[in-house]
Amino acid sequence: MRYRYRSFFWPALLILVGIVALLANTGQMSAARVAELWNLWPVILILIGLELVIRRTVEGRSGEIAAALVALLAVVGVVAYIAVAPNPGTTQVLDATDSVGSIDHAALEIDVGAATITMTGDDSLNGNLYRAHIEYSGPKPGVTLDRSTGELRIEQSSNGVDFFQSRRLVMTLELNPSIPWTITSNTGAVSETLALSGVHVGSVQVNTGASKENITLGQPSGIVPVTVNGGALTVILHRPSGTAASVAVSGGALSLDADGRQTHAIGNLSFATPDFGGATDGYRLEVNGGACSVSIDTSASSS
């Protein structure tokens, strides 16, 4: 009579799920640590492979005992890993800076998820192109500068299990105002403050989810495009007095406050200062989203 081998893979998996659920429900294990289980998916392949080896090389009850020990060790190892691994929800700090060198123009690109971002121009940077201070949880952000193109990239990659984790990124970024900048920001839910009245800005493009954008710009050189694309958007643009500007808003429920003139509509709204048609310098603001609240005024300094 042939001995029927009994697999311990599914019982071990059920035991592991039960242990993790118990620890999570009693507050002994955070959601961020539970998310670390995703990093251990190769253990499943190892466990299946070991069971196949045991099934073909060890017969009878000795094989069952060996398979049970392998499953038990796997469960204990996984639980131990989750218990002692660094907590991905812990806030960490990253500071970065780099020199201007021969760079005569710069392009900033930000690619992050949910974030709070404050961007300013700072004369005290002297020979430095930028200075970034980032407080974050989850994957470590990358800050890279391509000197051949002047492109500064700041990004935080996704590890594939963000729906389990409470990620946080708060960034303060100082830019050298002696260098012309183009700015692109690709984010999730974000609160973004761009206080750049002293910076020569060539363009601003924001691609986001739910977002609040508070943008302060100085005197423009040429017609400077400012584009915001997203879902639920609140956009506030401050410019110096006397600066020509146009605004085009499209989406669902729209609200526009342009130099104190308030309008509401569904679909499209637009505004332009009387001098915009013949202006050589000014701002062209375009906002595309769902529910959009847009405001443009002349409360910025002309410096």
Residue 61 inside a domain? The answer is: yes
Residue 303 has a pLDDT of 57
* 79 and 131 share one domain: no
Nearest CA to 185 among 151, 147, 153? 153
Residue 271 inside a domain? The answer is: yes
Q: Which of 59, 84, 109 finishes a domain?
A: 84
**What is d(CA 227, CA 130) in angstroms, rounded to the nearest whole number?**
23
* 296 and 231 share one domain: yes
**What is d(CA 129, CA 126) in angstroms, rounded to the nearest whole number?**
8
Q: How many domains would you assign to the chain? A: 2
Per the rule left: phi > 0, alpha: psi between -120 and 50, beta: everything else, 259 is left
* 120 and 266 share one domain: yes
Which pLDDT tens digit goes with each residue over 222-279?
A: 999 999 999 999 999 999 999 999 999 999 999 999 999 999 999 999 999 999 999 9
Q: Can you list the alpha helix ranges (DSSP code H) found in 41-144?
A: 42-57, 60-84
Residue 285 has a pLDDT of 98
Of residues 275 and 5, more confidently modeled: 275
pLDDT at 4 over 70: no
Mean pLDDT of the region 134-152: 94
**What is d(CA 22, CA 96) in angstroms, rounded to the nearest whole number?**
41
Residue 76 inside a domain? The answer is: yes
* 183 and 259 share one domain: yes
* 76 and 125 share one domain: no
* 98 and 19 share one domain: no
Residue 3 inside a domain? The answer is: no
pLDDT at 163 over 50: no
Q: What residues make up the domain containing 239? A: 92-300
* 153 and 246 share one domain: yes
Confidence of residue 6 (pLDDT cuts 50, 70, 90): low
